Amino acid sequence: MADGSVSTPRHPGVSKVTVRGVGVAVGKLTGERPQQGVTPDSLLALHEAGYRAVLDRIGDGRILDVGCGHGFESARFLSPERQVFGADYSSEAVSVAAATYGPKGLRVAQMNALDLGFAEGSFDGACSSHLIEHFTNPEPHVAELARVIAPDGVVCILTPNKPADFENPFHLHLFERQELRAMLERHFDDVWLGGVDGAPHVKADLAARRIKGNKLLRFDVFDLRHKIPHRWYVWAYTRLLPLAYKLIAKEDAGGATGITADDWFVTDQLDDTTLVLFAVAKSPKSPKSHSASAA
């Protein structure tokens, strides 16, 4: 296993960074974004495999990673041939990313993925990894990606495949294959849709964790989590998840399972068991042509 895998302690995921001379603790585990050492190996490896797939397709020039989080995946794009920009709504995430990877060349800004503060056609490549599902109405995010990408640029989008996803209150709009394709084709003339999937032993690991998770969910005998206001569900989830991981997944993180990004692969053979949808979109449509097609 190579140094820098998200499934090994050698990866630069950190628990504390220095921002303006002050030690700042990385935010607690909430389930909204992966964290080194506590998020299960299979999910960290999934994210790394997705970024590897993007890296193989995104080319050089000005690259944007929307929803960059703490920046450890955005930093994979850094090279002499690229200027890499990260954007995230979280001030804490932006501070960590800037402090950790700014000296290496990553430029980071706090902004809304539905209203990006960049000019039209600013980037040669853009990545949206496991972000689009976090919006109740994700189409404005796709429209923004189409707006900021150059006419000959490439946009890569990764998102869970709805039939195969775990329950997560931060996932507000899950996609099936045809819905994602149709939405992207409203904004791009050239869309390829495939997937990122796991080897059989990875799927077995995920299935085992799903069984454990479902056992815990049975304690919610009245299905209250789906009846209370959503913000209450998120509040409870973010506080109970660290405890749940300690109870049922403490041996699934920190490299203990041996699962790495090498256990994932890109495929164009999709079905309901494919774990992640992976889209590559090119030739952005002009806002006028999009309005005409929508009408």
Tens of pLDDT, residue by residue, the chain (295 residues): 233 222 223 233 333 333 333 333 345 667 777 776 677 888 889 999 999 999 999 999 999 999 999 999 999 999 999 999 999 999 999 999 999 999 999 999 999 999 999 999 999 999 999 999 999 999 999 999 999 999 999 999 999 999 999 888 999 999 999 999 999 999 999 999 999 999 999 999 888 888 888 888 888 899 999 999 999 999 998 888 878 777 777 777 778 789 999 999 999 999 999 999 999 999 999 876 555 555 4
pLDDT of res. 264? 96
Give per-residue burial for 206-220: e unless 16+ CB within 10 Å, then b: beebeeeeeeeeeee
Asked if residues 36 and 28 have their Cβ atoms less than 8 Å apart, the reply is no
pLDDT of res. 210? 85
Give per-residue burial for 46-56: e unless 16+ CB within 10 Å, then b: bbbbbbbbbbe
From the CB of residue 151, how many other CB atoms can be counted at a distance below 10 Å? 9
pLDDT of res. 24? 36
What distance lies between CA 208 and its chain's CA centroid? 22
pLDDT of res. 10? 29
Give the whole-angstrom CA distance, residue 53 versus residue 60.
Answer: 15
Asked if residues 78 and 104 have their Cβ atoms less than 8 Å apart, the reply is yes
Give the whole-angstrom CA distance, residue 226 versus residue 182.
Answer: 29
User: For strand 276-284 and strand 149-160, is the pairing parallel, antiparallel, or unpaired?
Assistant: antiparallel
Q: Strands (DSSP E) along 161-218, which ranges?
A: 188-198
Calculated CA dihedral for residues 18, 28, 264, 105, nearest 10 degrees? -20
Query: Could you tell me which residues are beta bridge partners of residue 79?
Result: 82
Q: What predicted TM-score, i.e. pTM, was given to this entire model? A: 0.85
